[in-house]
Amino acid sequence: MVAVTPQSSARAVAVGGSGWGRRAVLVVAAAYFLVPLVIAISFTVYNEVQGFSLGAYGRIVTSPGFATSFLTSLALAAVTIVLVLVLLLPAMIAVRLGAPGLRPVLETITTLPLIVPPITYVVGISSALREGADALAATPFWATIIAIQDDRFPVVLVLAYVILALPFAYRSLDAGLRAIDVVTLVEAARNLGASWPHLLLRVIMPNLRSALAGAAFLTLALVLGEYTIAALLGYQTFPVWIVTISGNDGQLSVALSILSLVLIWLLLITLSRASGRKKP
Amino acid sequence: MTVEFRALRRTYGATTALDGLDLTVAQGELIALLGPSGCGKTTALRCVAGFETPDSGAVLIDGKDVTRVPANRRDAGMVFQSYSLFPNLNARDNVAFGLRVRRRPTAERHARAAELLALVGLPDHGDRFPHQLSGGQQQRVALARALALQPRVLLLDEPLSALDAKVRVTLREEIRRLQLELGITTVFVTHDQEEALSVADRVAVLRAGRLEQVGAPAEIYDRPATPFVAEFVGTMNHVPGRVTGDRVEVFGRSLPVDGTAPGELVDVLIRPEAVLVTPAEDGGALILASSFRGSTARLRVQLADQSEVLADVPGHDAVRLAPGLRVEVGVVERPVLVTARTSGDQEPAVA
Amino acid sequence: MTSARFTRVKGWAPASPLLLVVAVAFGIPAVMLALGAFTVPGAPGEPGTYGLDNVAASLREPYLTKLLTSIELSAVVAVAGALTGTLLAHAVLTSRSAALRESVLSASGVLANFGGVPLAFIWIATLGNSGLVTTSFGLGPGLLYNFWGLALVYLYFSIPLMVLVIAPALEGLRPQWREAAQGSGASVWQFWRHVGLPVLTPALLGGVVLLFGGSFAAYATAAAMVGASVPLVTMQIADALTGNVLVGFENVALALSLDMIVVAMLVMAVYLPLQRRSSRWLR
Ligand SMILES: Nc1ncnc2c1ncn2[C@@H]1O[C@H](COP(=O)(O)OP(=O)(O)OP(=O)(O)O)[C@@H](O)[C@H]1O
Ligand SMILES: [Mg+2]
């Protein structure tokens, strides 16, 4: 459920509201949000036997599977990002260059994944895989079905993540494309004799840098945080590994929670840096 | 109903928005608050409306101190610069908002809203939502809303500044007509001097939170009390001149000085329309450029000493007085304001 | 027209890879889900037949309770989260301190995306049976492991999400509106009743729907925290998927999934017209 980002905020307008009510709200909210965090952090660095120790964080890195699962997740993210952009960008440019009928279709397919709960999606996927393997057992496609479920690089997860990332990538790219006049850019470039690939790589993409970065980071965040689908399909991605490894080591599991919080935070900072960097 | 600002002061941290403003608006009068951006016009108006509390000083409506009366009990109608209509209500409900808050029956609300919408020239727009109205129409509705409760005072904060030129002129005339018809005491904030001069009974020029001058439009324009007012209202040429006694020599003429001169070498302030331009083959001045404005044309004229002045001539002379023409420059004979010399240390201009 | 020429040349072709991938990766699972939900398994070795049995079963006990509990939990979290999130956003946005505004908004960004098992762990450390707060205040066990405990934990990401959703809308309330209302004699309350809340309604509704969807779909947090002690439909489906149930109930899991999607779509179906109606003036 990663991929909701804060909007930049200017000053706001005080509309009613007394000073005391406001202060009370702030104090209660601070308690609710900060107390669990403070407790969790102190829990990871202190226990009665050893006193203060950063051991729990050290154990994260030395735990078996840390590197493998993290790298798997990164690889999945990289492929997903490339795929999402390669699939979306031409379609979104086509909408602007005179296939406006495509827009409602794009809007729909980039909204559905938000409505469909991941757990139902994974149910659909696994039943498709099962039935598919049965039905295609005698054909050459059987090998494909098996291949996309490879443990080291589960293509099926990439496909699922592409679908899940569509809404976020679409919105980010849409904002970027809205800011540049694609039609004029394309016409000017074509007029100067640019080929389509050249146009896409040299004219449009550079003008979309921050939107592309936004889409990429949202996708990265999504892949690094997604648990349900990977877990239920039985793959050891990083979020799944976190749960597997926590086991009975309470300190380690909470340390991992803090770690994922920090990870989200870092991703969001990078994201806001990337999309905050305006076109020159 | 009179409105009186009494030694109003308001500061925001290090900025002084109002610095002891004194001003009285007479019953039924339309007074324009004019001044450069940031001089405190809006702040002054908001003090009357009750959205702002002065640090010191008082606002009196009808002689009663209302400085501490909350905004919703002030009885002042206000029109804002733009986007002030409630977006979720149509024009009729916007106008009738005050009556709804007062729990008046629906029939009365609708009747009153219809009456006011007709008054502002939008009798058929009651069902429109703000986003379905043009900027000018929105401001008309805002005006109707401000008048709906028959307030004692009408406050207008640059109500026309977001509109295009043509609409601005029609609407300001309409505001004036309504104001006269209703006889409502009105404070009209603007930074457009033409607007101020054309609709107001009196114009109050503000500078850095203080009143610089208040008077009838013609008085402000013709007899500015200070160089600041002279500069701010209309266009002024700074022409070097030399003072002798109570007269100043400029363009080869000797004119009476209005007020006292700060020294011998001064700048004489001369309006473009007071500069006379006549063609002369051996004239020392040269027309550099001309911009035609319909009824007048504004010429940029280079004098013999290379300095430049602006001159307004009747529009029908524009063809005759074309750029490149040699001319002689004179000045209308009447008292002039002078200021300390800022236009370099040249000798008095001769043409 | 140049762009018209491109139309004919390019048309929908650039979109075909995307449409293909969506058809395969989303269309096939969707169809399989729907087919499976309506397939009644035959005897071993026999092919299944189509029928409503699974769907009917999914709407009977013991499954109905789970579906209803999920809906109830999500509704509670959505409404409570929307209210508190709005209050918090308002309190923060009207604050004079820019630092407070900035830090709360970016913290909201982080926490809105913080969910799953890690969220459960943090709350277990706080309010779990041996959590610090539980033990230091002698609160007794089981505090967290029930419906309300789960709601409390879900609010941890729901409130920040609401803050993010509602903040732009709150910032869009123009000061002129409040002042114009006051000038017309309205009290603060009357301003909110006639102008403020109606203008915020689309964003509020949007937030409620988003929060509902987030809690309704959440699975990992609940699984790690309460196990089976709070019956939720997501956990039932996961159990079926991982083989934790009797054989033959897999198709009921498909039907339950279908139920979930229908609920989600119903919520959207209620929301969209409302949202369209109340946002018509914001265009
Ligand atoms: N709420 C505020 N906080 C801080 N400073 C303010 C505030 N309101 C006004 N000021 C400052 O007070 C001064 C006067 O502001 P005011 O809005 O009255 O100017 P104005 O004459 O209406 O200008 P304009 O023509 O640009 O509208 C300005 O320097 C402004 O920056
Ligand atoms: Mg102003």
pLDDT at A52: 80
Q: Which atom of ligand 1 is nearest to the CA of B45?
A: 18
Give B44 Cα–ligand 1 centroid separation in angstroms: 10
φ/ψ of residue B56, rounded to 5:
-150, 170
pLDDT at C88: 93
B130 and B278 share one domain: no
Question: Looking at the domain assignment, is residue B348 inside a domain?
Answer: no
Q: Are B250 and B348 spatial neighbours (Cβ–Cβ below 8 Å)?
A: yes
CB contact set of B224 (below 8 Å; sequence gap of 6+): B213, B230, B233, B337
Question: Looking at the domain assignment, is residue A1 inside a domain?
Answer: no
Do B and C make contact, counting contact as 3+ CB pairs within 8 angstroms? Answer: yes
Domain total in chain A: 2
Do B and A make contact, counting contact as 3+ CB pairs within 8 angstroms? Answer: no
- Domain of residue C277 covers 55-282
Question: Looking at the domain assignment, is residue B349 inside a domain?
Answer: no
Question: Looking at the domain assignment, is residue A211 inside a domain?
Answer: yes
pLDDT at C248: 59
| Mean pLDDT confidence for B10-26 | 91
| Mean pLDDT confidence for C88-111 | 87
Exposed, middle or buried: residue C267 (CB in 10 Å: 0-12, 13-18, 19+)? Answer: buried
A36 and A163 share one domain: no
B208 and B260 share one domain: no
Query: In the structure, what pLDDT confidence band is assigned to residue A18 with cuts at 50, 70 and 90?
Result: low
Question: Looking at the domain assignment, is residue B345 inside a domain?
Answer: no
Strand partners, B308: B302
Question: Looking at the domain assignment, is residue C153 inside a domain?
Answer: yes
Query: In the structure, what pLDDT confidence band is assigned to residue C8 with cuts at 50, 70 and 90?
Result: very low
A25 and A163 share one domain: no
pLDDT at B265 over 50: yes
Q: Are C157 and A1 spatial neighbours (Cβ–Cβ below 8 Å)?
A: yes
- Domain of residue A41 covers 6-53
A49 and A91 share one domain: no
- Domain of residue B216 covers 3-230
* Domain final residue pick, B214, B230, B246: B230
Q: Give the ligand with the smallest distance to the CA of B36.
A: 1
pLDDT at A127: 83
pLDDT at C283 over 60: no
Between A37 and A7, the higher pLDDT residue: A37
Domain total in chain C: 1
* Domain final residue pick, B212, B230, B248: B230
Say which DSSP state B257 is in: B
Which residues in chain C have Cβ-Cβ distances shorter than 8 Å to B70?
182
Q: How does the average pLDDT of chain B come out, rounded? A: 88
pLDDT at C171 over 70: yes
Query: B136 is written with which tokens?
Result: 């000018």
Question: Looking at the domain assignment, is residue C124 inside a domain?
Answer: yes
Question: Looking at the domain assignment, is residue C71 inside a domain?
Answer: yes
Q: Could you tell me the strand order of the sheet in which B210-215 lies?
A: B76-79, B153-157, B185-190, B30-34, B202-207, B210-215
Q: Are A253 and C121 spatial neighbours (Cβ–Cβ below 8 Å)?
A: yes
Rounded CA separation C272/C206 (Å): 9
Size of interface A-C (CB pairs under 8 A): 284
Question: Looking at the domain assignment, is residue B350 inside a domain?
Answer: no
Mean pLDDT lowest for which of A137-146, B325-334, C52-61, C230-239?
A137-146
Exposed, middle or buried: residue C239 (CB in 10 Å: 0-12, 13-18, 19+)? Answer: middle
Residues in chain A: 280
pLDDT at A8: 42
Query: In the structure, what pLDDT confidence band is assigned to residue C194 with cuts at 50, 70 and 90?
Result: very high
| Residue B41 CB neighbours (<10 A) | 26
Rounded CA separation B199/B170 (Å): 11
Q: Give the ligand with the smallest distance to the CA of B204.
A: 1
CATH code of the domain covering residue C81: 1.10.3720.10
Between C51 and B225, the higher pLDDT residue: B225
ipTM of the shown complex: 0.82
Question: Looking at the domain assignment, is residue B189 inside a domain?
Answer: yes
Q: Which amino acid is at B317?
A: D
B280 and B298 share one domain: yes
A178 and A134 share one domain: yes
Q: Is B12 in the pocket of ligand 1 (CB under 6 A)?
A: yes
Q: Are B241 and B263 spatial neighbours (Cβ–Cβ below 8 Å)?
A: no
B100 and B211 share one domain: yes
A195 and A101 share one domain: yes
Q: Are B151 and B77 spatial neighbours (Cβ–Cβ below 8 Å)?
A: yes
Helix (H, G, I), strand (E, B) or coil at B131: helix
Q: Is C12 left (phi over 0), alpha (psi -120 to 50) or beta?
A: alpha
A17 and A82 share one domain: no
A81 and A168 share one domain: yes
| Residue A194 CB neighbours (<10 A) | 16
Q: Give the ligand with the smallest distance to the CA of B14.
A: 1
Q: Whose CA is nearest to atom 29 of ligand 1?
A: B38
pLDDT in tens, A124-167: 888 888 877 777 777 776 677 777 777 777 888 999 999 999 98
A167 and A272 share one domain: yes
Element (H, E) at B302: strand B296-302
pLDDT in tens, A270-279: 877 776 654 3
pLDDT at B55 over 70: yes
What's the 3-state SS for chain A?
Answer: CCCCCCCCCCCCCCCCCCHHHHHHHHHHHHHHHHHHHHHHHHHHHEECCCEECCHHHHHHHHCCCHHHHHHHHHHHHHHHHHHHHHHHHHHHHHHHCCCCCHHHHHHHHCCHHHHCCHHHHHHHHHHHHHHHHHHCCCCCHHHHHHHCCCCCCCHHHHHHHHHHHHHHHHHHHHHHHHHCCHHHHHHHHHHCCCCHHHHHHHHHHHHCHHHHHHHHHHHHHHHHHCCHHHHHHCCCCHHHHHHHHHCCCHHHHHHHHHHHHHHHHHHHHHHHHHHHCCCC
| Mean pLDDT confidence for A36-40 | 90
Question: Looking at the domain assignment, is residue A92 inside a domain?
Answer: yes
Q: Measured between CB atoms, does B187 come within 8 Å of chain C?
A: no
Q: How does the average pLDDT of chain C come out, rounded? A: 82
pLDDT at B10: 92
Question: Looking at the domain assignment, is residue C7 inside a domain?
Answer: no
Helix (H, G, I), strand (E, B) or coil at B114: helix
Question: Looking at the domain assignment, is residue B266 inside a domain?
Answer: yes
A43 and A69 share one domain: no
pLDDT at C279: 61
pLDDT at C143: 80
Which of A228, A220, A201 has its CA nearest to residue A267? Answer: A220
CB contact set of A252 (below 8 Å; sequence gap of 6+): A56, A59, A60, A63, A245, A246
Query: In the structure, what pLDDT confidence band is assigned to residue B93 with cuts at 50, 70 and 90?
Result: very high
Residue of B nearest to C277 (CA): B88
Rounded CA separation B106/B122 (Å): 20
- What's the Cα-to-Cα distance from B295 to each of B56, B235, B275, rounded to whole Å? 48, 17, 16
How much of chain B, in percent, has pLDDT values that exceed 70? 97
- How far A90 CA lies from chain C's nearest CA (Å)? 5
Q: Are strands B210-215 and B202-207 parallel, antiparallel or unpaired?
A: antiparallel
Size of interface B-C (CB pairs under 8 A): 80
Of B88, B146, B149, the CB nearest to C185: B149
pLDDT at C246: 53
A241 and A149 share one domain: yes
- Tokens 């379609």 — which residue? A91
| Mean pLDDT confidence for A167-194 | 82
pLDDT at A26 over 50: yes
A206 and A246 share one domain: yes
pLDDT at A239 over 60: yes
| Mean pLDDT confidence for B113-132 | 90
CATH code of the domain covering residue B211: 3.40.50.300
A78 and A178 share one domain: yes
Q: How does the average pLDDT of chain A come out, rounded? A: 80
pLDDT in tens, C22-80: 998 899 888 888 888 787 776 666 667 777 777 777 777 788 888 888 999 999 999 99
Q: Measured between CB atoms, does B74 come within 8 Å of chain C?
A: yes
| Mean pLDDT confidence for C148-173 | 90
Query: In the structure, what pLDDT confidence band is assigned to residue C281 with cuts at 50, 70 and 90?
Result: low
- Tokens 């001058």 — which residue? B213
Question: Looking at the domain assignment, is residue B332 inside a domain?
Answer: yes
Exposed, middle or buried: residue A20 (CB in 10 Å: 0-12, 13-18, 19+)? Answer: exposed
Rounded CA separation C195/A13 (Å): 15
Element (H, E) at B168: helix B165-182
Inter-chain CB proximity B72 and C280 less than 8 Å? no
User: Distance between the two ends of chain B, CA-based, in angstroms?
Assistant: 54
φ/ψ of residue C231, rounded to 5:
-75, 115
Q: Which residues of C touch B (CB under 8 A)?
A: 174, 176-177, 179-187, 190, 194-195, 198-199, 278, 280-283
pLDDT at B322 over 50: yes
Rounded CA separation C99/C233 (Å): 42
Inter-chain CB proximity B83 and C176 less than 8 Å? yes
* Domain final residue pick, B205, B230, B255: B230
B19 and B162 share one domain: yes
Query: In the structure, what pLDDT confidence band is assigned to residue A248 with cuts at 50, 70 and 90?
Result: low
B115 and B174 share one domain: yes
Domain total in chain B: 2
pLDDT at A225: 85
Q: Measured between CB atoms, does B227 come within 8 Å of chain C?
A: no
Of C184, C195, C199, the CB nearest to B145: C184
Between C133 and B328, the higher pLDDT residue: B328
Question: Looking at the domain assignment, is residue B207 inside a domain?
Answer: yes
Q: Is B77 in the pocket of ligand 1 (CB under 6 A)?
A: no
Do C and A make contact, counting contact as 3+ CB pairs within 8 angstroms? Answer: yes
Question: Looking at the domain assignment, is residue A177 inside a domain?
Answer: yes
pTM: 0.81
pLDDT at C3 over 80: no
B10 and B105 share one domain: yes
Q: Which of C73, C108, C117, C158 to mutate to test the interface with A (most CBs of A within 10 A)?
A: C117
Inter-chain CB proximity A94 and C164 less than 8 Å? no
